[in-house]
């Protein structure tokens, strides 16, 4: 098993994919953090303290800034795409035969790949945290606002963002196993995660439903990261998210369900 | 962590004698039966040519042998075990399959390093194999730029990585230029001199004819012929053209020689004894216009066997629309 895991990790780091997506990640996460930080203390996002989480700098605002890429639903697309591509490229380039010949027990291949995806997910999360913290705190510092970087709740946000990266990448992995066609899988996954999220949010809002939106993957991950009310209580009302660990469990359920179905199908498939 | 070859050498891994046994193997894809009740054995320590026209079911058979394709029925084992049941299979069976690709963005050396991780061998072994197949310089370039010949060599290096006793090579000569084919012949001879069991598939007999000890010939998923190349060479035939073919066929039959009509009004006679045919014709007062030996040609036998009415390649469409059903009838030659 150790050899199979090493092989899967080596596969990730021997093509240009991982650092190509990583550059995108730095730009997206760092850029959005800087943008969110720039909004602090301004009325750009409204002058009502109940509606504008940036009006006054709070602990929740800091969580929002350092997870800006997630709040904007762009950062999770990168680990998602990575997870999809890491499995579908085996089909696209017909390397899956060599993989299964080296490790004929297919569940073992898929377990090894999952471990490798956890590893790269942690690496991505680390880079995201550094980029977000650096860009966000730089802008906050220039504006003379508190950075909250010493606050334990902020550190918890950084720790949980590692988990978010792993979960999004595993979700992509499971989805890729089901779809297999690389181009289709990438576009459908990104379409669901980005466009369907927006469409469903609008629909649920119009219907006045409050619980179904909580189950959308993007809201699950934001609910893990932003645990303090950014409006400092001015917004009132209930949190739009579950408890952070409920979010994590539901999300893990999605990833596991897709991976189990995908693995089961793949374990029975003819590889030719 | 056992990154390098430790106490148990790969040779001790060989299970049983390494004999390959294909037993009543069948694979159907929908209505198409790609492999049809196929049985044959490959003896250890010999090079066996696995021959048949394109679409005969060679690749499907090899993929079933390697556990990549699930048989509809029947079994395929190596040394008495299914491939999936072999511990560290790369150390026991090396394989180079035709549709095995390389990630175009990964270097050839890294492709082998990935396989070395599971085979439990180190980077030195990878470099040795790259040296052996003659692409050490290209190995650090991305595989997307490799020529067909370089890809074949990289595939062979991958198969050899765990120093296996058994090698399954699917069309290794495909895409090689004449120089490459000559290299491959020498390479296979080198391997067989080490006593390895090699099953090498090809749709081109002349690519492997000089190299193989045994042949297994299949067409439309069924066994057509199995035997040593020496046995096959033994079946000599002659071609004779004369003034009265019907009378000559009769005279040959009375002399105990089987004669069948050949192209252009000639006769095919199953014997290598040309003077005897001449004598029979002389006794029957028939003028002989042409008399030559043709049977020693394995190539001709290959075509004869695989293009017999029941064995013509169904994948290329039905060559005789007037006779539907011929592909199902037609005995095995």
From residue A182, alpha-carbon distances to A67, A86, A119, A173, A185 in Å are 29, 9, 22, 11, 5
B89 contacts chain A (CB < 8 A): yes
Go through B280-301 and write b for each residue having 16 or more CB atoms within 10 A of its CB, e for each that does not: bbeebebeeeebeebbebbeeb
At B95 the pLDDT is 95
Between B10 and B164, the higher pLDDT residue: B164
Tell me what the pLDDT averaged over chain A comes to: 93
pLDDT (average), residues B95-119: 92
Look at residue A40 and tell me whether its pLDDT is greater than 80: yes
pLDDT (average), residues A105-131: 96
Pick from A187, A126, A152: which is nearest to A63 by CA? A152
CB-closest option in B83, B99, B103 to A15: B103
Cβ atoms of residues B170 and B24 within 8 Å = no
Look at residue B295 and tell me whether its pLDDT is greater than 50: yes
Structure confidence by residue, pLDDT tens digits, B29-39? 999 999 999 99
Least confidently predicted of A206-220, A228-242, B9-23, B218-232: B9-23
The alpha-carbon gap from A181 to the nearest alpha carbon of chain B, in Å, equals 15
From residue A187, alpha-carbon distances to A84, A120, A127, A137, A176 in Å are 10, 21, 25, 34, 11
Quickly state the pLDDT bin for B316 (edges 50, 70, 90).
Answer: low
How far apart, in whole angstroms, are the C-alpha atoms of residue B178 and residue B204?
Answer: 13
A115 contacts chain B (CB < 8 A): no
From residue B88, alpha-carbon distances to A110, B5, B119, B196 in Å are 17, 12, 6, 18
How far apart, in whole angstroms, are the C-alpha atoms of residue A244 and residue A229?
Answer: 13
Between A38 and B326, the higher pLDDT residue: A38
Tokens of A209: 């439903």
Residues of chain B above pLDDT 90, percent: 48
The strand order across the sheet containing B73-78 reads B32-42, B20-29, B73-78
Look at residue B1 and tell me whether its pLDDT is greater than 60: no
Cβ atoms of residues B118 and A3 within 8 Å = yes
Is the domain defined by B10-227 classed in CATH 3.30.465.10?
Answer: no
Residues of chain B above pLDDT 70, percent: 84
A109 contacts chain B (CB < 8 A): no
pLDDT (average), residues B298-308: 72
How far apart, in whole angstroms, are the C-alpha atoms of residue A93 and residue B114?
Answer: 15
Q: Which of A203-212, B178-187, B224-233, B249-258 has the highest mean pLDDT?
A: A203-212
CB-closest option in B3, B120, B158 to A98: B158
pLDDT (average), residues A225-252: 87
Least confidently predicted of A236-245, A252-261, B152-161: A236-245
Quickly state the pLDDT bin for A79 (edges 50, 70, 90).
Answer: very high
- Nearest residue on chain A to B3, judged by CA atoms? A3
- In DSSP notation, A32-51 reads HHHHHHHHTT-STT-S-TTT
Q: Rg (Cα) of chain A, in Å, rounded? A: 20
Structure confidence by residue, pLDDT tens digits, A154-209? 999 999 999 999 999 999 999 999 999 999 999 999 999 999 999 999 999 999 99
Tokens of B206: 């002349």
At B320 the pLDDT is 41
How far apart, in whole angstroms, are the C-alpha atoms of residue A115 and residue A98?
Answer: 19
How far apart, in whole angstroms, are the C-alpha atoms of residue B196 and residue B156?
Answer: 14
Interchain proximity B67–A100, CB inside 8 Å: yes
Quickly state the pLDDT bin for B323 (edges 50, 70, 90).
Answer: very low
Interchain proximity B118–A14, CB inside 8 Å: no
The alpha-carbon gap from A80 to the nearest alpha carbon of chain B, in Å, equals 20
Residue B77 β-bridge partners: B21
Q: Which residues of A touch B95 (CB under 8 A)?
A: 101
Cβ atoms of residues A168 and A119 within 8 Å = no
At A46 the pLDDT is 85
At B180 the pLDDT is 86
B114 contacts chain A (CB < 8 A): yes
Q: Who's near A59: CB < 8 A, 6+ residues apart?
A: A148, A151, A153, A154, A228
Is the domain defined by B236-294 classed in CATH 3.40.50.150?
Answer: no
Cβ atoms of residues A29 and A132 within 8 Å = yes
Structure confidence by residue, pLDDT tens digits, B39-78? 999 998 899 999 988 889 999 999 999 999 999 999 999 9
Look at residue B296 and tell me whether its pLDDT is greater than 80: no
Secondary structure (3-state) at B238? strand
B73 contacts chain A (CB < 8 A): no
Pick from B14, B189, B172: which is nearest to B90 by CA? B14
Go through A171-191 and write b for each residue having 16 or more CB atoms within 10 A of its CB, e for each that does not: bbbbbbbbbbebeebbebbbe
Quickly state the pLDDT bin for A235 (edges 50, 70, 90).
Answer: confident
At B319 the pLDDT is 42
pLDDT (average), residues B133-147: 92
Any idea where the domains of chain B sit in the sequence? 10-227, 236-294
A12, A20, A101, best to mutate vs chain B, most B CBs in 10 Å: A101
Look at residue B331 and tell me whether its pLDDT is greater than 50: no
């Amino acid at each position: 098993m150790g050899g199979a895991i090493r092989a899967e990790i080596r596969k990730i780091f021997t093509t240009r994919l991982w650092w190509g997506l990583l550059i995108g990640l730095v730009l997206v996460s760092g850029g959005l953090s800087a943008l969110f930080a720039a909004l602090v203390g301004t009325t750009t996002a409204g002058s009502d303290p109940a509606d504008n989480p940036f009006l006054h700098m709070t602990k929740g605002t800091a969580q929002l800034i350092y997870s800006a890429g997630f709040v904007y639903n762009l950062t999770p697309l990168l680990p998602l795409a990575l997870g999809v591509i890491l499995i579908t490229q085996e089909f696209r380039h017909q390397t899956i035969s060599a993989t299964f010949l080296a490790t004929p027990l297919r569940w073992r291949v898929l377990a090894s790949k999952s471990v490798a995806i956890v590893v790269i997910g942690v690496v991505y999360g680390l880079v995201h945290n550094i980029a977000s913290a650096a860009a966000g705190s730089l802008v906050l510092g220039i504006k003379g606002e508190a950075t909250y970087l010493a606050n334990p709740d902020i550190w918890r946000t950084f720790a949980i963002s590692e988990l978010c990266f792993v979960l999004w990448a595993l979700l992509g992995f499971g989805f890729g196993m089901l779809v297999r066609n690389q181009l289709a899988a990438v576009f459908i996954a990104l379409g669901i995660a980005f466009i369907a999220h927006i469409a469903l949010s609008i629909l649920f809002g119009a219907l006045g439903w409050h619980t179904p939106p909580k189950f959308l993957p993007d809201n699950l991950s934001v609910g893990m990261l932003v645990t303090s009310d950014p409006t400092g209580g001015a917004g009132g009302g209930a949190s739009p998210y579950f408890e952070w660990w409920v979010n994590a469990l539901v999300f893990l359920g999605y990833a596991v369900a897709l991976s189990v179905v995908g693995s089961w199908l793949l374990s029975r498939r003819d590889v030719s | 962590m056992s990154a390098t070859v430790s106490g148990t050498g790969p040779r001790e891994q060989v299970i049983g004698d390494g004999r390959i046994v294909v037993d009543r193997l069948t694979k159907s894809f929908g209505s198409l039966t790609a492999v049809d009740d196929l049985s044959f054995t490959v003896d250890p320590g010999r090079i066996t040519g696995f021959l048949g026209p394109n679409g005969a079911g060679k690749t499907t058979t090899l993929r079933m042998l390697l556990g990549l394709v699930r048989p509809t029925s029947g079994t395929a084992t190596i040394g008495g075990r299914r491939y999936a049941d072999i511990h560290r299979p790369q150390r026991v069976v090396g394989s180079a399959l035709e549709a095995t690709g390389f990630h175009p963005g990964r270097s050839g050396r890294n492709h082998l390093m990935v396989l070395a991780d599971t085979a439990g061998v180190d980077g030195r072994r990878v470099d040795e194999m790259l040296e052996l197949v003659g692409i050490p310089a290209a190995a650090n370039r991305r595989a997307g730029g490799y020529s067909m010949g370089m890809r074949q060599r990289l595939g062979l290096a991958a198969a050899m990585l765990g120093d296996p006793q058994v090698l399954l090579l699917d069309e290794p000569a495909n895409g090689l230029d004449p120089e490459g084919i000559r290299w491959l012949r020498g390479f296979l001879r080198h391997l067989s001199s080490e006593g390895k069991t090699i099953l090498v598939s090809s749709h081109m007999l002349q690519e492997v004819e000089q190299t193989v000890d045994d042949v297994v010939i299949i067409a439309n998923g069924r066994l057509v012929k199995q035997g040593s190349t020496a046995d096959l060479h033994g079946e000599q035939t002659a071609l004779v053209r004369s003034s009265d073919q019907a009378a000559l066929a009769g005279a040959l039959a009375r002399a105990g020689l089987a004669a069948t009509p050949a192209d252009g009004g000639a006769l095919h006679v199953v014997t290598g004894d040309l003077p005897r045919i001449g004598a029979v014709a002389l006794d029957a007062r028939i003028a002989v216009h042409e008399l030559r030996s043709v049977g020693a040609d394995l190539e001709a036998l290959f075509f004869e066997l695989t293009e017999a009415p029941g064995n013509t390649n169904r994948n290329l469409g039905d060559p005789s629309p007037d006779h539907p059903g011929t592909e199902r009838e037609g005995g095995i030659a």
